[in-house]
Amino acid sequence: MDPKTSPLAQLKDPSLLKTDALINGEWVGGASRFDVDDPATGALLTHVANLGASEADAAITAANAAWPAWRAKTAKERSAILMRWYHLLIQHADDLARILTAEQGKPLAEARGEIVYGASFVEWFAEEAKRVRGEVVPTTDASKRTVVIRQPVGVCAAITPWNFPLAMITRKVAPALAAGCPVVIKPAEQTPLTALAAAELAQRAGMPAGVLNVITGDSEQSIAIGQVLCASDAVRHLSFTGSTEVGRILMAQSAPTIKKLSLELGGNAPFLVFDDADLDSAVEGAIASKYRNAGQTCVCANRLYVQAGVYDAFVAKLAEKVGGLKVGNGFEPGVTQGPLIEDAAIEKVERHVADAVAKGAKVLVGGARLHDRFFQPTVLSEATGEMLCAREETFGPVAPVFRFTTEAEGIAMANATEFGLASYFFSRDIGRIYRVAEGLESGMVGINTGLISSAEVPFGGVKQSGLGREGGHQGIDEYLETKYLCLGDINR
């Protein structure tokens, strides 16, 4: 790291910059290290411990050894440690945001927003920890009494992506810890520093050794680490956020041990604008959903469907607003869109735009790479179903706008995908709102809004977008087993 130019040289608390992994309360360097780069400049930020299968085994062993004492704590005791962690995340939000922008690229203000969003899961599940209840079931046999209790599932593994380096970790580990489970986290190789800084703060909050472990590895080692996590019988739950392709691999690798799985995978979100929509609100919602994180979110609007009567007005308004977005280094004041995470990501975006134009789409604004990994916020009109951007998740700042005529046609086009994570639509008609919301095949529906994510709601998808829910009161259920006690012979 160049102390003169690196963004990491300006941390208020430099001790948050951890480059070793965390196993059993100890920082572990391993035999080799891998590079972490700044996606905006390509500059090397630092080197991080490149661990593999043996360290993954050690982390599972440490977590399993720490489990009895962690589950024996009262919910209130676990809650207190989580709440201290939450307050430390907020207290250090500026440094965490700086680390996040340095390794992931999103604008600093957006990174700080993610820190607050990610911390909110720790707060939410610190509270939920104290509300895990069982039940007494009225018996049909007078000699018996029946009770249902809920217990932590055991060691939980979390394999997380680069697009939300903190939030995708806390959304998984906060409920697991709250439920009484120890965790082994494998963060994305592109963004390990945020995970390690958050782990340091968990240590400061009093998280016992072995309860929270972080195993870092490059892309090759991540595969080896994943194989160990999947194959281990001690790991009773695996939570993954990332591509559907990798989700399938992890699901198959977990089958021999019948693991509980939470999978938050790819999306292909439709965004419908009906004739009766408030167009200014629809444009605002489209920008919020499409261009957040430079379009690198699984709930981004990927296909915009606009009813014929308002199509021309909508695309004109959208293109005008999108033209005002400022692209640049996330540390530059006023920048609203940073770089894409890596070369393969921007090449995929270029492929989607070139394919769409070749098949008749019109570029209303943007349409090309600015330089390096920066892509102009783009609006394409006259999009059609034959284009790649209709079938694949672009994961970039490109809004293809399709035309539809009837409500039924709009719903059918929206549902014509194997994915079903998020969907959005704008209408002011209450009857239409119910018909369309109930007709869309997705786990989450934004109605007259493009932003739907928060800690208190059950986030997740249907079809091939994944399994399970994260957040909300449902989020902790993933980490609990339900046990039924049948007490007989009570009259003896």
188 contact, one of ligand LO4QSZO4, ligand NAI, none, CB 5-8 Å limit per kind: ligand NAI
Among 6, 101, 163, 423, binds ligand LO4QSZO4 (CB under 6 A): 163
Instruction: Report CA Rg, the chain.
Output: 23
- Return the residue of 249, 288, 437, 462 that touches ligand NAI, per CB under 6 A: 249
Asked if 430 contacts 473 with a C-beta cutoff of 8 angstroms, the reply is: no
CB 119 to ligand LO4QSZO4: min, Å: 13
Q: Is 216 an interacting residue with respect to ligand NAI (CB under 6 A)?
A: no
- Among 19, 104, 160, 453, the residue binding ligand LO4QSZO4 under the rule CB under 6 A is 453
- 393 makes contact, choosing from ligand NAI, ligand LO4QSZO4, none, with CB < 5 to 8 Å by partner type, with ligand NAI
Residue 264 falls in the annotated catalytic set: yes
Rule CB under 6 A: is residue 164 a binding residue for ligand LO4QSZO4? yes
**Beta-bridge partner residues of 43:** none
- If the CB atoms of residues 78 and 172 are measured against ligand LO4QSZO4, the closer one turns out to be 172
Give the span between the Cα atoms of 217 and 197, in whole angstroms: 16
Q: In whole angstroms, give the CA distance from residue 155 to residue 189.
A: 22
Which of 286, 267, 277 is closest to 364 using CA atoms? 286
| Residue 91 binds which of ligand NAI, ligand LO4QSZO4, none (CB < 5-8 A, kind-dependent) | none
Q: Which is nearer to ligand LO4QSZO4, 180 or 450 (CB)?
A: 450
The answer to whether residue 298 forms part of the interface with ligand LO4QSZO4 (CB under 6 A) is yes
x-or-dash string of contact with ligand LO4QSZO4, 228-267, rule CB under 6 A: -------------x--------------------------
Distance CA 315, CA 279 (A): 10
List the single partner that 5 binds among ligand NAI, ligand LO4QSZO4, none, CB under 5 to 8 Å by kind: none
480 touching ligand LO4QSZO4, by CB under 6 A: no
442 binds ligand LO4QSZO4 (CB under 6 A): no
Give the span between the Cα atoms of 61 and 55, in whole angstroms.
10
> Could you give the dihedral angle defined by the CA atoms of residues 276, 280, 286 and 291, in that order, rounded to the nearest 10 degrees?
180
Does residue 474 sit in helix, strand or coil?
A: helix
- Give which of 209, 402, 208 is closest to 315, Cα–Cα: 402
Instruction: Name the active-site residue from 264, 393, 407, 478.
Output: 264
Q: What own/partner pairs with CB < 8 Å and gap ≥ 24 does 346-351 have?
A: 346/373, 346/375, 346/396, 348/394, 348/395, 348/396, 349/295, 349/375, 349/394, 349/395, 349/396, 349/397, 349/398, 350/375, 351/388
**Residue with Cβ nearer ligand NAI (160 or 378):** 160
* Adjacency order of strands within the sheet including 466-467: 26-28, 21-23, 212-214, 183-186, 155-159, 235-241, 260-264, 466-467
CB of 452 to ligand LO4QSZO4, least distance (A): 7
- Determine the interface stretch with ligand NAI among 21-29, 63-71, 260-268, 355-363 (rule: CB under 6 A): 260-268
Stretch in the footprint of ligand LO4QSZO4 (CB under 6 A) among 85-93, 292-300, 305-313, 394-402:
292-300
Mode of pairing for the β-strands spanning 155-159 and 235-241: parallel
Cβ 24 vs Cβ 209: under 8 Å = yes
- The contacts of residue 484 (CB under 8 Å, 6+ apart) are 146, 147, 148
What residues line the site for ligand NAI (CB under 6 A)? 159-163, 186, 188-189, 219, 222-223, 226, 241-243, 246, 249, 264-266, 298, 393, 395
Active-site residues, by number, are 264
What residues line the site for ligand LO4QSZO4 (CB under 6 A)? 163-164, 167-168, 241, 297-299, 453, 459
